[in-house]
Amino acid sequence: MMLPASDLLFRSFFLGGFECSAHGLRSGRRLDLVAATAHDRHARADYARLRGRGIASAREGIRWRLIETVPGRYEFSSVMPIVRAAQEAGVQVLWDLCHYGWPDDVDIFAPAFIERFAGLAEAFARLLAAETDEAPFIAPVNEISFFAWAGAEVGYFYPFAQGRAHELKCQLVRATLAGCDAIWAVDPRARFVHLDPVIHVAHNRARPADRPVAAAAHALQWQAWDMLCGRVAPELGGAPRYLDIIGVNYYPNNQWIYNGPSFEQRVPIHRGHPQYRRLRHLLGDVFRRYGRPLLVAETGSEDAARVPWLRSIGREVRVALRAGVPVEGLCWYPILNHPGWDDDRHVHNGLWDYADAAGDRAPYRPLARELQRQQRLIGRLLARQALIYTGTEATA
Cis peptide before 334 (omega within 30 of 0): yes
Instruction: Round the average pLDDT of the chain to a whole number and report it.
Output: 95
In a domain, 96, yes or no: yes
In a domain, 288, yes or no: yes
In a domain, 120, yes or no: yes
Question: Strand pairing partners for 246?
Answer: 194, 294
pLDDT surpassing 70 at residue 28: yes
In a domain, 235, yes or no: no
Q: Taking residues 313-327, what's their average pLDDT?
A: 98
In a domain, 113, yes or no: yes
Please state, in angstroms and rounded to a whole number, the distance separating the CA atoms of residues 59 and 298: 9
Residue 1 pLDDT:
33
Please state, in angstroms and rounded to a whole number, the distance separating the CA atoms of residues 249 and 139: 13
pLDDT surpassing 70 at residue 76: yes
Asked if 249 and 195 count as a contact pair (C-beta separation under 8 A), the reply is yes
Q: Taking residues 62-79, what's their average pLDDT?
A: 98
Q: Taking residues 262-267, what's their average pLDDT?
A: 85
Reported as a single tens digit per residue, the pLDDT across 141-160 is 999 999 999 999 999 999 99
Residue 4 pLDDT:
43
Please, which pLDDT band fits residue 261 given cuts at 50, 70 and 90?
A: confident
In a domain, 382, yes or no: no
Residue 386 pLDDT:
81
Length of the chain: 396
Please state, in angstroms and rounded to a whole number, the distance separating the CA atoms of residues 50 and 351: 10
- Domain of 61 in residue numbering reads as 14-217+244-364
Please state, in angstroms and rounded to a whole number, the distance separating the CA atoms of residues 308 and 101: 33
* Number of compact structural domains in the chain: 1
Query: Is the pLDDT higher at 159 or at 390?
Result: 159
In a domain, 74, yes or no: yes
**Domain CATH code at residue 39:** 3.20.20.80
Share of the chain above pLDDT 70, in %: 96
Residue 260 pLDDT:
80
pLDDT surpassing 60 at residue 361: yes
In a domain, 383, yes or no: no
Please, which pLDDT band fits residue 29 given cuts at 50, 70 and 90?
A: very high
**C-alpha of 250 from chain center:** 9
